[in-house]
Homo-oligomer: A and B are copies of this chain.
Amino acid sequence: MDAEIIAVGSELLTPFRLDTNSLFLTEKLNSFGIEVRFKTVVGDDRPRLAEAFRTALQRAQLVILTGGLGPTEDDVNREVVAQVLDRPLREVEGIRRGIEERFARLGRVMSPNNLRQAMVPEGADWLENSSGTAPGLWIEHDGRIAILLPGPPRELEAIFNAACLPRLERIATAQRIRSRVYKVVGLPESELDQRIAPLYKPYDNPTTTILAVAGAIEVHLRARAASEEEAEALLAELGDKIEVVLGDHIFSTHGETLEQVVGMYLVMKQKTLATAESCTAGLLAERLTRVPGSSNYFLGGAVVYSNELKTKLVGVPAELIAENGAVSKPVAQALAGGIRQRTGASLGVGITGIAGPVGGTPEKPVGLVFVALADDHGTQVREFRFPGDRERIRFWATQAALEMVRRRVRT
């Protein structure tokens, strides 16, 4: 079964907004073996939407329209779909009552145009929206299925999960797709590919896709089979070989972020962490604390952008900075050791580097970063040269620091 997703909304044709609902929908559809063949974006415009919907019905068995179900005149999806399928709109008593009750409950006055949302093309199933007024719609027509969903992601996802998944489950029995995602750090993409290409090349099921995503490389395996068990078996056959070859470069097999993985290890080992950041200026602390519950292992740290603060807040000797420069191995070590000592954490991380765009020299170019990790066995320090712009250099520096912590606390 092939699908097309049509995202409706004039704001999605401006330079400021992208349709992101299609990513969620694609993932769900793929899990039933349904492939998305086309995605279309069209404005709140009756003739253009009608044209897009007609085209989609010709080339896909399943057409999902997102957005355009609000109460205002701008929201034309219900009417256009009714017109293209030649089914009159009828008011549905159950929807009307739900909308009226919702307004009563919130103590708000309902403007009459809200009742447009109770109008439904004849023969359509309506899908309850527990967090908004616009219900979704499910229409079967000439062997095709059209699904209309509201644009706000929270509403769309709730309706899709509650009402569409079970229906698709019944229909899309032909095949199942299962996938695995390995997240890898510490290997360049070309080297990773060299290592695993001989393994995955012989397989066209599972398919293998390698993606560079925010400081990590992801290896996606995707297997299709008649049942989930068979698909899992196919995944295991290739995946287990890949796991052996990549070994501990794989930091995550279930979608966890690097900071989540580091957090899990720190909790398991009952260790605490503190950070002293110069060029990354709080980004490492911020990433660590994106994880709820991080207060169990992350104590805090210092952002020491100026040399003076490196001395005042972390106790880096001023002479050490004067002798070696702020961006140097000894200063990274002193940052890691100093913050560990001042905070009493089991582990201290120090980062110093040149994020650019200016401030580089031939000896110390933009992208040079030192990361140090101190614990009661001593202090390890590594030198990196990251390519790219300021934002990328700072992100990669925190990625390298997290990876050093992961390797230290893993064993």
* CB of A103 closer than 8 Å to a CB of B: no
Closest to A2 in B: B48
B305 engages A16 (CB within 8 Å): no
Q: Which residues of B contact A286 (CB under 8 A)?
A: 280-283, 286
B342 engages A292 (CB within 8 Å): no
Closest approach, in angstroms, between the C-beta of A363 and any C-beta of chain B? 20
* CB of A231 closer than 8 Å to a CB of B: no
B20 engages A18 (CB within 8 Å): yes
* CB of A39 closer than 8 Å to a CB of B: yes
Q: Which residues of B contact A40 (CB under 8 A)?
A: 38-41
Closest approach, in angstroms, between the C-beta of A350 and any C-beta of chain B? 13
Closest to A288 in B: B281
Interface residues on A, range: 35 or more
Which residues A200-253 have CB closer than 8 A to chain B?
209, 211, 213, 218, 220
B11 engages A16 (CB within 8 Å): no
- Per-residue CB contact flags for chain A residues 276-304 toward chain B (1 = under 8 Å, else 0) read 01001111111011101111001111111
Instruction: Tell me the interface secondary structure of chain A in the complex.
Output: mixed
Tell me how many chains of this kind the complex includes. Answer: 2
Closest approach, in angstroms, between the C-beta of A52 and any C-beta of chain B? 7
Point out the residue from B282, B288, B312 that lies within 8 Å of A285, measured CB to CB.
B282
Closest approach, in angstroms, between the C-beta of A41 and any C-beta of chain B? 4
A14 engages B295 (CB within 8 Å): no
B281 engages A300 (CB within 8 Å): yes
Q: List 16 A-B contacts (CB under 8 A).
A: A16-B213, A16-B220, A37-B43, A38-B42, A39-B41, A40-B40, A40-B41, A48-B59, A51-B59, A55-B55, A281-B282, A298-B305, A300-B309, A302-B303, A302-B313, A313-B313
Q: Which of A23-31, A105-113, A122-130 contacts B (4 or more CB under 8 A)?
A: A23-31
